[in-house]
Structure 1
Amino acid sequence: MSTPPPPPGQPPQDQPPQQPGFGAPQPPQTPPPTTPASGPAPQTPPPAAPQPGGYGQPQPQPPAPQPGYGYPPTAPQPQAGYGYPGGQPGPYGGQPNPYTQPQQGAYQQGYGYPQATVPMAPAVQPSGGRKMNAQLAIIGAAVVAIALIIGGGVWYAGTGDDGGKDDTSKSSGGTTGGGGGGDEKGGTTGGEGSEKVPSDPASKVLFQVPMPKVGEDETTVVEGSWLTDTVYAKSGIAEVVGYDLDKGTKKWTVKLPGPVCHASRFVGEGDKVAVVFQPKMPAKNSSEGCSQIAAIDLAAGTKLWTKTAQLGDSDIGWDNVTVSSGTVAVGSTVGGAAFDLASGDPLWSPKPTDTCFDAGYGGGPKLVALRKCGQYGNQTIHVQTLDQKSGKVVSEYKMAQGIEYASVVSTEPLVVAAEVGNSSGDSARILDFFSIDNKTGELRNRIAAPDDQYEVDCDGISEVEDCSGVVVGNDRLYLPTKEHDGATEYSDTNEIVAFDLATGKETGQRADAGDDYALVPLRMDGGNLIAYKTPPYDKGGQVVSIDGGSFKQTKLMENPADEKVRDAEARFRPGTAEVLFAAGRLFMADVYASSLGSVSGEPDYLFIAFGTN
C-alpha cells in the first residue's frame, strides 16, 4: 500500500523525513458509469481519505532505513573545486535574513472537493561528477517524503512559450510558467500568444477515464501528465498511457515494473519526459524505493531507457526529477545526478568525497540546482545555474543562513521561493520570492508574499518545483490574492496581481475574478497570462487569457453548468490536481489513486477532458 504523505508544512523531526511507500494495485477495472442521485454532492471527503494537507489522516509507516543515506554530522565548509565557479564559493549577493524564526518547509492546500460521476461522455478504460561528503554514505536515514505535483504536468508543446533563448523544454501548465517570450528575462508588453479565441467558449466533456483500481485501504501515486500537439499522456498505476486528444482512446501504453513516484513537469527535446518509479510492485504497507529513472518518448509512445545511480553499494532513492532541454536531472538527500535525455548516458552523479549535495533541480529553459551545504538543520542553500550537459556552474546565489527549504519557481527569469517566517510577530507566514540574475548570481530583488494576503503554496521539502498559484513571465511575478468579500452580499472573490521582478514592487496591474469566482494563474502564453477561474456552486469553471499589458481578460472556455459536470470539475482544482490547458482543451487529473472511491459511491475518475468546438 502506498501510505499517504504527512500533512505538508510539518517540520522534520530529529531524523530526516521518511520516504513513503507505494501501493500494490489490482489490475485496472472499468465499472460502467452510473447516474448519481440528484442533489449537490457532499462537500467533505470521507474521514479516512488520504488527502494532502488534511487533518486527522493516518500517518505513514516508515520503511526500513536504507544504507548510505543521511546528513553529515558536522557542518562541512564548501571546498574549492567542482560545484563552484572558479573553485570558489561564488557570489553571495544576499541580504541578512530579517526573520528570527524561519519556518521549516511550507504548506499546501488539501483536497476537499466532492467526487462524482460524469455521464455526459463515454468513459474510456485506462489501461560528470557532482560531489558530496563521504560521511553521507555512513549515516543511515530515509529520503525525504514525497509531495504532490501541485498543478503540475506540462502544457501544449507547440504554443511557443519560449521563456528564454535556450528554451527547448516547454513550460509547465500551472506553476512554473517560465518567461513569457521576449528578452532573456521574459519581458514583453503582452500579446503574442498562440491561444485562439473561440467563436463560442462553451465547452463540452470530451471524455473521462475511470480511476484505476487499487487494493483495499490503499492509495497509490499517479503523478504526471503531459500535453503535446498530438497526445495527452497520463501516469496510471505502473504505467504511462497516451490518449487521443479528442476521443480519449489509447494511442499507446508504456508499462513500468512498479508505481511512478515522481514525474517531470516539463517536456524536453523531441517531446520526451522523465519519471522516477519503483523497481517492482511493493507488498502492502511497504515500498521498494524510488530508485529507477526512465525517459519516455511521448511522440512514439516508447520507453527510451531506464537508469539507476549508486552511492556505495546502495541504489539512490530519488526525491524529484526534472527535464531541461536534452537533460534529465534528479535530486535527493544524498546528491543529484543527470542523464542525457535521448540516450541515457550519465552526465554526473554523487561522489563520496563531496562536501555538499544537490537536493533537487529546476528545469525548463535553464537547469538550476538547489545545492545544500552544512549539517542537517543548519544548512545553507546555494542556487546554481548549471550548464545542462557538463554540470559546470554558470552562476551562484547563496541564500541566507536559516533557510532550510526552497522551491524553484522559474529558471528563466530565475525566481526561487522560500518560506522565511514572519517579521511582525503575528501568525502570518511569509513566502519570499527571490529574483536572481542567473548570469551573475546577483540578487535582483526580494518580494514578500504573506499567506494571509496571497494564495500561494510551495512545498520545497522534496519536490523543489512544487509551487502552485504563481507564474513568472514578462519579467513579472503573478500572484493570486486570498479570497475576500465580493461586491454582492455573501459573495467571495479574488484578484491576480503583478510584481516587477526588477523593482520588487507591484506594477498596478490587477485582474478581478468577479463575484463568486476565484482566479488561479496557470501559465504564460507568449506575453499573456492563462488563468483558471474556479466557479460558484451553480456554474462551470472558466479559462481566460489576461493580456500582459492591459490586463484585459478574454474568455477562452466556459464549462457546462450541469450539476454532474460541476461536481466532477470541483474534484480537480489547481493546487490539488494537474490542470493543463492548450488549444481549446482542458485536462484535469488526479495525482492519487485510492480505494476509497467517491463520496457518493459512484465511480471515480483519473481525469476529465473538456473541449470547445
Structure 2
Amino acid sequence: MSTPPPPSQPPSGGFGAPQDPPPGGFGAPVPPPGPAAPQSGPPQQPPSAQPAYGYPQTGPGYGYPQQPGTPPPFGTPPAPAAPPHAPAAGTGNDKRNQLMIVGAALLAIVLIVGGGLWYTSGDGGTDDRADSGPSASPGSDKPQDVVPGTEKVPGNPKSKPLLNLPNPVPADIATVTGSWLTDSTYIKSDLSKIVGYNVVDGGKKWELPLAGELCGATKHVSENKTAVLFRPTPSTPENKYPPCTEVGVIDLESGKLVWSGNAKSATGGDKPVSLNTVTLSGKTVAAAGISGGGTAWNLADGKSLWLPKIDGEGCRDVGYAGGEALGAIRKCGQSPNYTLYGQLLDPTSGAPTASYKLSQGIEDASIVSTKPLIVAADVGKTAKNATGVSDLFVIDPKGELKARIPLASGDFAGKCGLDVEKCVNMVVGNGKLYLPSYEHQGQSSSGRTNELLSFDLETGKQTTDRADAGEGYTMFPLRMDGSNIIAYKNPPYDKGGQIVSIDSRTMKETLLMENPADKVSQRAETQFSPEYSEYRYHNGKFFISRTTVSKPFTDKSDPEYLFASFTAS
C-alpha cells in the first residue's frame, strides 16, 4: 500500500518518526511542513472526503456480490475459513445435508414474509428485530444503544468562506497549537496571544496577551475553560526559546486568564520545571515534561494537586491524557532498557488506579483514549507508512489487557507522535475504534481514496463497518456526535472538502457541509494536513488551523493562512 505522498503531506519520515529536540530542547517548536505546491491540471489528490448520503457508491460494499476472481474491497476483514471435516461427495450424509439446506431455506422465507429479517443474538440466544430498537452493529452480535447526535443537517449544505486569517510572521519558528469552537466563538492560539473570533462574521471578539510564546495546549474543555502552556518571557535573539514553564487556564467565553503558574521539582530547587504537554480532565489540569515528571493543579483556582516526583527506580510521568478520565504514560529505567506503563490516575492525587505494563523494549507510547484506556505503541519498530503505531492495547479498569488491535500492516492511517496525547485519525465510540484505511489508488489511475473502518474494543478484531470516501476523496474521523461519527473528506483538486455524519449502525453518510470548489477557497482549504493541523466543526461552522508557523524564506504565490474557515450558507 506504500505510495508517494500527495503534495500537502509532511516531509519524509512522516508524523510519528523520531525527531531530535529543537533548539532550546523539548518544548521548542518544530518547523511545520511547507504548503502544497500550486496545482495545475489534475495533480495527485490530497487526503479525505466522501459522497453524501444517498449518492451512488463507486465500488461494491459489504454484502454486494463480487465478480469471480475479483479481490474484496480494500480493508475487508478476512473471510471465515470453511468448516473443517466437510463430508466428501457421495457419502451417506448427502441426503441429510440437502434436507437441512431445504429446511433452512424454507425457514428463511417464513421469517422474511412474516415481518422482516431476523437475526440470532449472541447474547443469550434471543431473537431481536434487526430494524427496530437497539440494533446490531455491523460485524458485531451485540446490541448497540443509539445515542442521538446534536449536529443538524442544514437546509443548504453548500458553504461559503467565513475568514481566512494570514499567518503571523515570527522571528523564526513558533508554536500556535490550540483551537477551540463554542456555539458563539472560535478561539485560536497566535504569537504570544490567544484570540477569540465571532463565528457569525469572523470579527475579533477578544484578545488575550501572554508573557511569552505558546508552547502547548490541550484540546479538552471543562466548565468552558481550557489550558495552555507558554514561556515566561518573550523570545530574544540571544534566547530564542526560553524554557516552557508556565501553565494557564483560559475562560473561552470571556477571554480572561483565570490563573497561571508553574511547578518546581523536588530536587531542582527554585527552578521551575520545563513542560511540553498539558491536558485537562474534569477539574484537574495536568502537565508533564519528558525528563522532569508530571504535575497537576485544580482547574478553578490553580491550587497544586501534586508535584513532579521521580522514585528510586527512575520512574516518572512523561505525559498525560485527559477527557472523560485521566491517563498517564509512566516511564521507568534508563535507555535502552525502559519499562513503560499505561495508567489511569485518581485526578485529585495522581495515584494510579489501574496500571498496565508494556512489553520490554518499547521506548515511547501514546494514549488514544482514556475511557476506555487505549495505549498506542510501536512494538519492535514494526509500524509501517510512518504511522508511529503498530499496536493498540485496550486496558480494562483493573489494569488488565482486554484486547490488542494490530495495525502494523500499514493498511490503516491512524497515527501517533512522540507526545502522549498526539494521536490523530482515531475516534472511540459505540464500543469501537474508528479509523481510516491508508489511502490507495481509486478507480482511476491518478485518483486516491480510502475508507472509514472500525475495530471491536472487546475482541480487538476488525468489524465489517465500512464507509467509502469516494473517488478522489480521502476521509478521516473528527469526533463522535452521539452514536454518529463526524468525518472530514479532503477533496480532489477540482472540488471542495466535505463534512459528513456517518450513522454507526448502517455506515450511511449524511452531508453536513460541502465547501466551495473555486481555486482560492480550494487552495486555502487544502494547504493543511491532519498531522500538523487542527480541524473543528460544530453547528455549520468549520475551522482548520495550523499548529506551527515559521518565517517565510521566499516569496510565495499563494498566501499561507493561520486558519481557514467556512460557514453553511
TM-score, reference length from structure 1: 0.69
For 1:348 and 1:606, how far apart are their aligned partners in 2? Answer: 36
8 A contact 2:456–2:462 mirrored in 1: yes
Structure 1: gaps (5+ residues): 24-49, 53-109, 117-150, 152-181
Q: CA deviation at 1:422?
A: 5.9
Structure 2 equivalent of residue 573 of structure 1: 529
Q: Which one-letter code corresponds to 1:363 in the other structure?
A: G
For 1:406 and 1:424, how far apart are their aligned partners in 2? Answer: 13
Q: Does 1:113 align with 2:39?
A: no
For 2:185 and 2:414, how far apart are their aligned partners in 1? Answer: 30
Residue of 547, 550, 553 corresponding to 2:503: 547
Residue of 304, 312, 329 corresponding to 2:286: 329
Structure 1 equivalent of residue 25 of structure 2: 19
For 1:391 and 1:423, how far apart are their aligned partners in 2? Answer: 33
Structure 2 equivalent of residue 250 of structure 1: 204
Q: What is the aligned length? A: 454
Q: CA deviation at 1:20?
A: 5.3
Q: Does 1:235 align with 2:192?
A: no
Residue of 263, 273, 289 corresponding to 2:226: 273
Q: CA deviation at 1:257?
A: 0.8
8 A contact 2:24–2:241 mirrored in 1: no
Q: CA deviation at 1:208?
A: 1.9
8 A contact 1:22–1:259 mirrored in 2: no
Structure 1 equivalent of residue 119 of structure 2: none
Structure 2 equivalent of residue 346 of structure 1: 304
Structure 1 equivalent of residue 454 of structure 2: 498
Structure 2: gaps (5+ residues): 1-10, 40-47, 49-134, 136-141
Structure 2 equivalent of residue 584 of structure 1: 540
Structure 2 equivalent of residue 79 of structure 1: none
Q: Does 1:221 align with 2:175?
A: yes
Structure 2 equivalent of residue 302 of structure 1: 256
Q: Does 1:595 align with 2:551?
A: yes
Alignment of 1:191-206 (within 5 A): 192-206=148-162
Q: Which one-letter code corresponds to 2:375 in the other structure?
A: V
Q: CA deviation at 1:230?
A: 2.5
Q: Which one-letter code corresponds to 2:230 in the other structure?
A: F
8 A contact 1:211–1:604 mirrored in 2: yes
Q: CA deviation at 1:223?
A: 0.8
Q: Which one-letter code corresponds to 1:409 in the other structure?
A: V
SS at match of 1:289: coil
For 2:227 and 2:393, how far apart are their aligned partners in 1? Answer: 28
TM-score, reference length from structure 2: 0.74
8 A contact 2:157–2:513 mirrored in 1: yes
Q: 1:205 to 1:187 in 2, by over 3 A?
A: farther
Provide the aligned C-alpha RMSD in A: 3.1
Residue of 497, 510, 513 corresponding to 1:557: 513
For 1:249 and 1:428, how far apart are their aligned partners in 2? Answer: 38
1:282-304 per-position Cα deviation (integer Å, ceiling 9, x unaligned): 22363111011111111221001
SS at match of 2:523: helix
Larger CA Rg, structure 1 vs 2: 2
1:482-533 per-position Cα deviation (integer Å, ceiling 9, x unaligned): 1122224432211011100101111101110011000111111111111100
Q: 1:227 to 1:536 in 2, by over 3 A?
A: same
8 A contact 2:162–2:565 mirrored in 1: yes
Alignment of 1:177-576 (within 5 A): 188-190=144-146, 192-215=148-171, 218-268=172-222, 270-284=223-237, 286-311=240-265, 312-313=268-269, 314-332=271-289, 333-351=291-309, 355=313, 356-421=315-380, 431-437=390-396, 439-450=397-408, 452-459=410-417, 461=418, 463-576=419-532
8 A contact 2:425–2:436 mirrored in 1: yes
For 1:241 and 1:432, how far apart are their aligned partners in 2? Answer: 38
For 2:513 and 2:382, how far apart are their aligned partners in 1? Answer: 42
For 1:6 and 1:279, how far apart are their aligned partners in 2? Answer: 33
SS at match of 1:376: coil
Structure 2 equivalent of residue 43 of structure 1: none
For 1:245 and 1:372, how far apart are their aligned partners in 2? Answer: 42
Q: CA deviation at 1:429?
A: 7.3
SS at match of 1:509: coil
Q: Which one-letter code corresponds to 1:197 in the other structure?
A: V
Q: CA deviation at 1:214?
A: 2.0
1:371-417 per-position Cα deviation (integer Å, ceiling 9, x unaligned): 11111321111111111112232211111111111111011121111
8 A contact 1:539–1:560 mirrored in 2: yes
SS at match of 1:580: strand
For 1:233 and 1:427, how far apart are their aligned partners in 2? Answer: 31
For 1:465 and 1:534, how far apart are their aligned partners in 2? Answer: 24
Q: CA deviation at 1:450?
A: 2.4
For 2:494 and 2:310, how far apart are their aligned partners in 1? Answer: 59
8 A contact 2:305–2:349 mirrored in 1: yes
Q: Which moved more, 1:526-535 or 1:446-455?
A: 446-455
Q: CA deviation at 1:576?
A: 2.3
SS at match of 2:153: coil
For 1:425 and 1:205, how far apart are their aligned partners in 2? Answer: 37
Q: CA deviation at 1:352?
A: 5.7
Q: 1:598 to 1:533 in 2, by over 3 A?
A: farther
For 1:454 and 1:507, how far apart are their aligned partners in 2? Answer: 14
For 1:584 and 1:292, how far apart are their aligned partners in 2? Answer: 35
Q: CA deviation at 1:603?
A: 3.8
Q: CA deviation at 1:207?
A: 1.4
Q: CA deviation at 1:10?
A: 5.0
1:514-571 per-position Cα deviation (integer Å, ceiling 9, x unaligned): 1100011111111111110010000000011111111101111000001111011011
